[in-house]
Amino acid sequence: MEILQIKKLTKVYNAFKDAKEVIALNEINFNVDKGEFIGIMGSSGSGKTTLLNILSGIDKATSGEVHINGQDIIKMKKDELALFRRRKVGFIFQALICEPSVIFADEPTGNLDSKSSKSIMTTFKNMNEEKSATVIMVTHDAFAASFCKRKIFIKDGAIRLEIISAGDRNKFFDKILEAQSVIVGEKQ
């Protein structure tokens, strides 16, 4: 069962009146099933945090659709969205207490030592496997990404590659490193 549907999601920034537009997300499309553990990777400026911010209701899209549990959050008014976020969406620490439908994590292991990183990722893994929590995580860390069941790689605001774990974390870690090198090596 799909818990999240993203259709033609676009975000364009225009910082200054006469400045050139920056396309942060360019018609992104993907679906997330209930209980999936998805990692989103990409270099700085690729659009991954913008994507997470829109999916979680923190930022607004320029166009497109984001359906969480069948409701298009893009069309919600500010107060409706705030109520929806309180009831259905969780961030790292809220997830440990509230058990939301979807957990959003932006670089949860970014400034942690390896032992703490493993502890956080094991907690996410357990929540995903034992409580069927849907987890969507942005990370640069291939080790953290190896806990995910599916990885989406973003470059220049578009999905470039998706890989799925066959169950062996060590092999998936190697696939992630290989995929990163392919994405980084693409011609600009």
- 70-99 pLDDT, tens digit per residue, is 888 888 888 887 777 666 555 555 555 566
The SS3 assignment for 72 reads: strand
Rounded Cα distance, 51 and 151, in Å: 14
Helix (H) or strand (E) run with residue 78 in it: helix 78-88
The contacts of residue 142 (CB under 8 Å, 6+ apart) are 173, 176, 177, 180
Rounded Cα distance, 138 and 144, in Å: 10
Q: Which residue has the higher pLDDT, 127 or 11?
A: 11
C-alpha separations of 81 from 56, 60, 74, 75, 185 in Å: 10, 11, 9, 9, 39
What's the token pair of residue 3? 């818990």
pLDDT tens per residue, range 124-170: 899 899 888 899 999 989 999 999 999 999 999 999 999 999 989 99
Going along the chain from its start, the domains and CATH numbers come out as 35-59+82-185 (3.40.50.300)
Rounded Cα distance, 93 and 98, in Å: 9
C-alpha separations of 118 from 52, 71, 88, 112 in Å: 22, 34, 26, 9
Stated pTM of the model: 0.84
Q: Reply yes or no on whether the pLDDT at 171 is more than 70.
A: yes
Rounded Cα distance, 152 and 150, in Å: 7
